[in-house]
Homo-oligomer: A and B are copies of this chain.
């Protein structure tokens, strides 16, 4: 059973959440009409944002979480400490985004934010066993 993890919200969290909310306005979502924003905080306290970008061929759509992570990685970052996802109603990151997050983090905080508030998780709450090339039970 997944429990909400109660943590001390880092001082930067309110900025991060605001950044994710702002990023949602940049979404390109003509097919689903659901605009999602995301932001990440890296280990050296830099913030990067992303939003979903859809495609006529649905399979080539990319989620907000991944565009935010990609932006961090493109800037040379390799370690993400916090991921924020913002939507009008709380949504969970899809499995693909969680897998990508696992490539660049240990057990980051995940903050799901919507109009009414936030919920906290750790990556291991949502994808405890990501695929790795040498995973062992």
Contacts and interface: CB of A to CB of B under 8 A. Distances in A.
Copies of this chain: 4
Given A62-B62, A74-B23, A75-B26, A57 B89 contact: no
B96 A57 contact: yes
A108 to B, nearest CB: 14
B103 A56 contact: yes
A100 B54 CA distance: 9
A39 to B, nearest CB: 12
Most chain B CB inside 10 Å of its own CB: which residue of A73, A95, A121: A95
A60 interface: yes
A84 to B, nearest CB: 14
Contacts of A74: 23, 26, 49-51, 53, 67, 71
A49 B90 CA distance: 31
B62 A94 contact: no
Contact of A91 (B1, B92, B135): B135
Contact of A94 (B31, B57, B76, B78): B57
Interface string A6-21: 0000000000000000
Nearest to A87: B135
